[in-house]
Protein backbone atom coordinates (compact mmCIF):
# COMPACT_ATOMS: atom_id res chain seq x y z
CA UNK A 1 0.00 0.00 0.00
CA UNK A 2 1.67 3.19 -1.19
CA UNK A 3 0.78 6.74 -2.15
CA UNK A 4 2.84 9.19 -4.17
CA UNK A 5 2.38 11.87 -1.48
CA UNK A 6 2.95 9.63 1.55
CA UNK A 7 5.96 10.69 3.62
CA UNK A 8 6.96 8.54 6.59
CA UNK A 9 8.45 11.51 8.52
CA UNK A 10 5.21 13.49 7.98
CA UNK A 11 3.13 10.52 9.12
CA UNK A 12 5.26 10.04 12.23
CA UNK A 13 4.88 13.72 13.10
CA UNK A 14 1.10 13.43 12.59
CA UNK A 15 0.86 10.62 15.16
CA UNK A 16 3.50 12.03 17.53
CA UNK A 17 5.87 9.08 17.12
CA UNK A 18 9.58 9.56 17.74
CA UNK A 19 10.86 6.01 18.30
CA UNK A 20 12.75 3.55 16.13
CA UNK A 21 11.25 2.45 12.84
CA UNK A 22 12.30 -1.17 12.51
CA UNK A 23 10.03 -3.98 11.26
CA UNK A 24 9.77 -5.58 14.71
CA UNK A 25 7.04 -6.12 17.31
CA UNK A 26 8.15 -3.23 19.53
CA UNK A 27 7.85 -0.73 16.68
CA UNK A 28 4.55 -2.23 15.52
CA UNK A 29 3.05 -1.99 19.01
CA UNK A 30 4.19 1.56 19.64
CA UNK A 31 3.20 2.72 16.14
CA UNK A 32 -0.33 1.30 16.40
CA UNK A 33 -0.86 2.80 19.87
CA UNK A 34 0.39 6.19 18.69
CA UNK A 35 -1.98 6.28 15.73
CA UNK A 36 -4.97 5.22 17.84
CA UNK A 37 -4.28 8.07 20.26
CA UNK A 38 -3.86 10.75 17.58
CA UNK A 39 -6.05 9.86 14.58
CA UNK A 40 -9.77 9.69 15.43
CA UNK A 41 -12.12 7.06 14.11
CA UNK A 42 -14.91 9.21 12.63
CA UNK A 43 -17.64 9.23 10.00
CA UNK A 44 -17.94 12.92 9.19
CA UNK A 45 -17.75 12.29 5.44
CA UNK A 46 -20.60 9.80 5.54
CA UNK A 47 -22.75 12.08 7.67
CA UNK A 48 -22.16 14.84 5.12
CA UNK A 49 -23.58 12.58 2.42
CA UNK A 50 -20.25 11.75 0.81
CA UNK A 51 -18.55 8.39 0.16
CA UNK A 52 -15.07 8.38 1.73
CA UNK A 53 -12.32 8.16 -0.88
CA UNK A 54 -10.23 5.02 -1.16
CA UNK A 55 -7.59 6.72 -3.29
CA UNK A 56 -4.39 6.41 -1.21
CA UNK A 57 -3.23 9.93 -2.06
CA UNK A 58 -6.54 11.42 -0.95
CA UNK A 59 -6.45 9.42 2.29
CA UNK A 60 -2.95 10.76 2.98
CA UNK A 61 -4.05 14.34 2.34
CA UNK A 62 -7.14 14.00 4.52
CA UNK A 63 -5.46 12.47 7.56
CA UNK A 64 -1.82 13.54 7.45
CA UNK A 65 -2.04 16.95 5.78
CA UNK A 66 -5.47 18.09 6.97
CA UNK A 67 -5.36 16.48 10.41
CA UNK A 68 -8.61 14.55 10.01
CA UNK A 69 -9.55 10.96 10.88
CA UNK A 70 -11.66 8.38 9.11
CA UNK A 71 -13.18 4.94 9.33
CA UNK A 72 -11.55 1.54 8.84
CA UNK A 73 -10.57 1.72 5.17
CA UNK A 74 -8.99 5.12 5.61
CA UNK A 75 -7.16 4.76 8.91
CA UNK A 76 -6.06 1.16 8.34
CA UNK A 77 -5.11 2.10 4.79
CA UNK A 78 -2.87 4.85 6.13
CA UNK A 79 -1.43 2.47 8.73
CA UNK A 80 -0.60 0.03 5.93
CA UNK A 81 1.27 2.76 4.05
CA UNK A 82 3.45 3.28 7.13
CA UNK A 83 4.02 -0.48 7.46
CA UNK A 84 5.13 -0.61 3.83
CA UNK A 85 7.50 2.32 4.28
CA UNK A 86 9.10 0.71 7.35
CA UNK A 87 9.43 -2.70 5.72
CA UNK A 88 6.86 -4.86 7.51
CA UNK A 89 5.35 -7.98 5.93
CA UNK A 90 1.57 -7.55 5.99
CA UNK A 91 -1.73 -7.98 4.14
CA UNK A 92 -5.39 -6.92 4.37
CA UNK A 93 -8.15 -9.26 5.53
CA UNK A 94 -11.92 -8.91 5.67
CA UNK A 95 -13.73 -9.07 9.01
CA UNK A 96 -17.36 -9.65 9.88
CA UNK A 97 -18.79 -7.19 12.48
CA UNK A 98 -20.59 -9.21 15.16
CA UNK A 99 -22.23 -6.60 17.37
CA UNK A 100 -25.27 -6.33 15.07
CA UNK A 101 -28.32 -8.51 15.92
CA UNK A 102 -28.18 -10.30 12.54
CA UNK A 103 -25.27 -11.88 10.65
CA UNK A 104 -23.36 -9.34 8.56
CA UNK A 105 -21.06 -9.54 5.54
CA UNK A 106 -17.34 -8.98 5.95
CA UNK A 107 -17.40 -5.21 5.56
CA UNK A 108 -14.62 -4.40 8.04
CA UNK A 109 -10.96 -4.20 7.02
CA UNK A 110 -8.11 -5.35 9.26
CA UNK A 111 -4.36 -5.70 8.82
CA UNK A 112 -2.44 -8.94 9.43
CA UNK A 113 1.28 -8.44 10.11
CA UNK A 114 3.79 -11.30 10.07
CA UNK A 115 6.89 -11.05 12.27
CA UNK A 116 9.33 -13.96 12.65
CA UNK A 117 6.74 -16.33 11.23
CA UNK A 118 3.99 -15.28 13.67
CA UNK A 119 0.80 -13.44 12.65
CA UNK A 120 -0.54 -10.42 14.52
CA UNK A 121 -3.92 -8.75 14.14
CA UNK A 122 -3.65 -4.97 13.83
CA UNK A 123 -6.62 -2.63 13.64
CA UNK A 124 -6.65 1.16 14.01
CA UNK A 125 -10.22 1.53 12.78
CA UNK A 126 -12.86 -0.32 14.75
CA UNK A 127 -13.96 2.44 17.07
CA UNK A 128 -15.56 1.91 20.47
CA UNK A 129 -13.94 -1.12 22.07
CA UNK A 130 -11.37 -2.10 19.47
CA UNK A 131 -7.81 -3.25 20.01
CA UNK A 132 -5.25 -0.95 21.57
CA UNK A 133 -2.20 -2.90 20.38
CA UNK A 134 -1.45 -5.82 18.03
CA UNK A 135 -2.66 -9.20 19.28
CA UNK A 136 -0.99 -12.52 18.48
CA UNK A 137 -3.33 -14.58 16.30
CA UNK A 138 -3.74 -17.81 18.22
CA UNK A 139 -6.79 -19.77 19.35
CA UNK A 140 -7.48 -18.93 22.99
CA UNK A 141 -5.19 -15.91 23.02
CA UNK A 142 -6.04 -13.43 25.80
CA UNK A 143 -4.28 -10.08 25.93
CA UNK A 144 -4.41 -7.24 28.42
CA UNK A 145 -3.70 -3.91 26.77
CA UNK A 146 -3.55 -0.80 28.94
CA UNK A 147 -6.26 -2.10 31.24
CA UNK A 148 -8.48 -3.52 28.45
CA UNK A 149 -8.77 -7.27 27.84
CA UNK A 150 -9.23 -8.99 24.50
CA UNK A 151 -9.70 -12.60 23.45
CA UNK A 152 -9.30 -14.53 20.19
CA UNK A 153 -11.12 -17.81 19.64
CA UNK A 154 -11.22 -20.00 16.55
CA UNK A 155 -14.79 -20.82 15.53
CA UNK A 156 -15.97 -22.24 12.17
CA UNK A 157 -12.61 -21.46 10.56
CA UNK A 158 -12.75 -17.82 11.68
CA UNK A 159 -10.94 -16.11 14.50
CA UNK A 160 -13.40 -14.17 16.65
CA UNK A 161 -12.25 -11.11 18.58
CA UNK A 162 -14.05 -10.30 21.84
CA UNK A 163 -13.59 -7.41 24.28
CA UNK A 164 -14.24 -7.58 28.00
CA UNK A 165 -16.84 -4.88 28.70
CA UNK A 166 -18.43 -4.53 32.14
CA UNK A 167 -17.07 -7.98 33.10
CA UNK A 168 -18.70 -9.67 30.11
CA UNK A 169 -17.08 -10.81 26.87
CA UNK A 170 -18.61 -8.92 23.95
CA UNK A 171 -18.16 -10.14 20.35
CA UNK A 172 -16.52 -7.58 18.07
CA UNK A 173 -15.77 -9.28 14.74
CA UNK A 174 -14.65 -12.49 13.06
CA UNK A 175 -11.97 -12.87 10.39
CA UNK A 176 -10.01 -15.51 8.53
CA UNK A 177 -6.35 -15.41 7.48
CA UNK A 178 -7.25 -15.13 3.79
CA UNK A 179 -5.61 -12.13 2.15
CA UNK A 180 -7.75 -9.60 0.28
CA UNK A 181 -6.76 -6.89 -2.17
CA UNK A 182 -7.44 -3.24 -1.44
CA UNK A 183 -9.80 -2.92 -4.39
CA UNK A 184 -12.04 -5.67 -2.97
CA UNK A 185 -13.13 -3.34 -0.16
CA UNK A 186 -14.56 -0.70 -2.51
CA UNK A 187 -18.01 -2.32 -2.42
CA UNK A 188 -17.91 -2.58 1.38
CA UNK A 189 -16.96 1.09 1.55
CA UNK A 190 -19.94 2.00 -0.64
CA UNK A 191 -22.25 -0.18 1.49
CA UNK A 192 -21.09 1.33 4.79
CA UNK A 193 -21.36 4.87 3.44
CA UNK A 194 -24.81 4.57 1.86
CA UNK A 195 -26.90 1.73 3.33
CA UNK A 196 -29.52 2.79 5.86
CA UNK A 197 -28.75 -0.24 8.03
CA UNK A 198 -25.18 0.74 8.97
CA UNK A 199 -24.16 2.65 12.08
CA UNK A 200 -22.23 5.11 9.89
CA UNK A 201 -25.34 6.40 8.14
CA UNK A 202 -27.50 6.23 11.26
CA UNK A 203 -25.33 8.07 13.78
CA UNK A 204 -22.62 10.69 14.09
CA UNK A 205 -19.64 9.19 15.83
CA UNK A 206 -16.03 9.80 16.77
CA UNK A 207 -13.69 7.69 18.87
CA UNK A 208 -10.12 8.25 20.00
CA UNK A 209 -8.01 6.37 22.48
CA UNK A 210 -6.14 7.92 25.40
CA UNK A 211 -3.24 6.41 27.36
CA UNK A 212 -5.65 5.01 29.97
CA UNK A 213 -8.95 4.76 28.15
CA UNK A 214 -10.88 6.30 25.27
CA UNK A 215 -13.35 9.00 24.28
CA UNK A 216 -16.52 8.02 22.44
CA UNK A 217 -18.82 10.62 20.90
CA UNK A 218 -22.13 9.20 19.65
CA UNK A 219 -24.53 11.86 18.38
CA UNK A 220 -24.76 14.25 21.34
CA UNK A 221 -23.49 11.87 24.02
CA UNK A 222 -19.84 11.98 25.05
CA UNK A 223 -18.33 9.13 27.05
CA UNK A 224 -14.91 9.59 28.58
CA UNK A 225 -13.60 6.26 29.85
CA UNK A 226 -10.47 6.49 32.02
CA UNK A 227 -9.01 3.75 34.22
CA UNK A 228 -12.25 1.79 34.09
CA UNK A 229 -14.49 4.71 35.09
CA UNK A 230 -17.01 6.24 32.68
CA UNK A 231 -18.15 9.86 32.65
CA UNK A 232 -21.11 10.40 30.32
CA UNK A 233 -22.45 13.84 29.39
CA UNK A 234 -24.82 15.41 26.86
CA UNK A 235 -22.91 17.78 24.59
CA UNK A 236 -23.15 19.78 21.39
CA UNK A 237 -21.73 17.38 18.79
CA UNK A 238 -19.83 19.95 16.74
CA UNK A 239 -18.19 21.56 19.77
CA UNK A 240 -17.27 18.22 21.35
CA UNK A 241 -15.91 16.91 18.04
CA UNK A 242 -13.63 19.91 17.81
CA UNK A 243 -12.57 20.03 21.45
CA UNK A 244 -11.93 16.32 22.02
CA UNK A 245 -11.16 14.99 18.53
CA UNK A 246 -9.76 17.96 16.63
CA UNK A 247 -12.55 17.82 14.04
CA UNK A 248 -14.13 20.88 12.46
Active site (catalytic) residues: 72, 108, 123
Distance between CA atoms of residues 223 and 228, nearest Å = 12
CB 173 within 8 A of CB 160: yes
Residues facing residue 216 across a β-bridge:
207, 223
Distance between CA atoms of residues 179 and 42, nearest Å = 26
Nearest to 106 by CA among 158, 40, 46: 158
Percent of the chain that is helix, strand, coil (3-state, to 5): 30, 35, 35
Distance between CA atoms of residues 219 and 216, nearest Å = 10
Give the Cβ contact number of residue 112 at 10 Å. Answer: 21
CA angle 126, 128, 129 (to 5 degrees): 85
Distance between CA atoms of residues 21 and 27, nearest Å = 6
Distance between CA atoms of residues 210 and 28, nearest Å = 18
Amino acid sequence: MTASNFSLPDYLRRIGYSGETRPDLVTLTTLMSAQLQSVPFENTEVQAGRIPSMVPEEITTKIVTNGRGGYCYEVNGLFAMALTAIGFEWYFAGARPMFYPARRPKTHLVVIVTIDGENYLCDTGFGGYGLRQPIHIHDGEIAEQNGDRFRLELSNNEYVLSSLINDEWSLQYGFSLAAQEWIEFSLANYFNATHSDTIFTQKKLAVIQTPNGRKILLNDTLKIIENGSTDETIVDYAKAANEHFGLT
